[in-house]
Amino acid sequence: MKKQTIGAIKLVSLVALGLVFLSLKLMSASTSVDVKAQNNQIVASQDEQSFDQTQALDTLRKRIAGQENKPAEEVFKNIRMLKGVPAARLLKIMELGYARSLGVNCAHCHVAGGWEKDDKPTKQIARDMVTMAAAINNEYLKKIKNLKSETPIINCTTCHRGQTKPALNLPESPPKQGPAALGQRLPP
Ligand code: HEC
Ligand code: HEC
């Protein structure tokens, strides 16, 4: 009888110990998944990390010297969306409108040594985003009455704000003004 009780206690504590280990393992597994997800968002690809954007822009500006005001499609090889845009302005759009607004550098959309190539899916995505932004500006915003601006407009920065994946939620820290600062709960 006494022996059986000790045996039962041993069994129960073994099972409990097993459960503790299992849950620890599950916890560490889920943390490592979280870290990976974060890294996908934050850490740039290998070719992006080693890419020298300042030097690339320098080389390109020298290459188009004397043709700065010519339409992009006459100076570059594969222009489908930005036709009519002066060549120098195209480089500004690439640097500030695209790279900076998404928080990336040129290598996020371009393969080294071939600006005209369409090898990276992100380059075509960018073209499709131009079409989407134009539809919002030219169709949808125009239909909304009583807006503050006479010609309301959005661009890449409106959504991206320095990130490849636009946010769906506000940052964790409570805003300094508004209901949250007064201790009131915001509606979901
Ligand atoms: C978000 C994606 C994206 C980023 C980032 C980006 N580009 Fe582009 N780039 C494009 C797209 C899309 C085109 C084609 C535009 C079109 O079809 O009108 C293009 C075209 C070009 C061209 C013309 C190439 C040719 O011969 O047709 C050059 C040069 C260029 N980009 C340079 C740059 C530089 C320099 C940077 C970094 C400062 C950069 N791009 C960053 C998407 C990007
Ligand atoms: C109305 C909001 C909105 C606007 C404006 C917008 N984007 Fe996006 N963009 C998105 C969303 C949403 C995604 C998809 C993110 C995801 O994968 O969930 C995205 C994804 C992208 C991606 C893929 C990024 C990656 O690495 O996965 C590129 C490139 C991109 N956008 C470029 C642009 C450019 C260039 C412009 C301006 C011409 C632009 N976007 C304007 C909402 C927007």
How do residues 2-21 score in pLDDT, each as one tens digit? 666 656 656 555 555 555 55
Look up the domain containing 22 and give its range: 3-167
Q: pLDDT (tens digit, 9 = 90+) per residue, 100-125?
A: 999 999 999 999 889 999 999 999 99
Q: Within 10 A of 93 (CB to CB), how many other CB atoms are there?
A: 16
Residue 129 CB-density burial (10 A; 0-12 exposed, 13-18 middle, 19+ buried):
middle
The pTM of the full predicted model, rounded to 2 decimals, is 0.80
Query: Which amino acid is residue 77, in one-letter code?
Result: K
Length of the chain: 188
72 C-alpha to ligand 1 centroid (Å): 11
Q: pLDDT (tens digit, 9 = 90+) per residue, 152-172?
A: 999 999 999 999 999 999 988
Asked whether residue 81 is assigned to any structural domain, the reply reads yes
Asked whether residue 174 is assigned to any structural domain, the reply reads no
At 58, list the tokens. Answer: 């320098």
- CATH classification at residue 161: 1.10.468.10
Residue with CA at minimum distance from ligand 1 atom 35: 57
Asked whether residue 123 is assigned to any structural domain, the reply reads yes
Asked whether residue 80 is assigned to any structural domain, the reply reads yes
19 C-alpha to ligand 2 centroid (Å): 44
DSSP 114: B
| DSSP run (H or E) holding 55 | helix 53-63
The total domain count for the chain is: 1
With a 6 A CB cut-off, is 99 part of the ligand 2 pocket? no
Asked whether residue 183 is assigned to any structural domain, the reply reads no
Half-sphere exposure in the Cβ direction for 30 (13 Å, CA)? 5
With a 6 A CB cut-off, is 161 part of the ligand 2 pocket? no
Residue with CA at minimum distance from ligand 2 atom 3: 159
The confidence score (pLDDT) of residue 84 equals 98
Asked whether residue 179 is assigned to any structural domain, the reply reads no
- Residue 145 near residue 84 (C-beta atoms within 8 A): no
Asked whether residue 185 is assigned to any structural domain, the reply reads no
Q: Within 10 A of 82 (CB to CB), how many other CB atoms are there?
A: 18
122 C-alpha to ligand 2 centroid (Å): 9
Asked whether residue 184 is assigned to any structural domain, the reply reads no
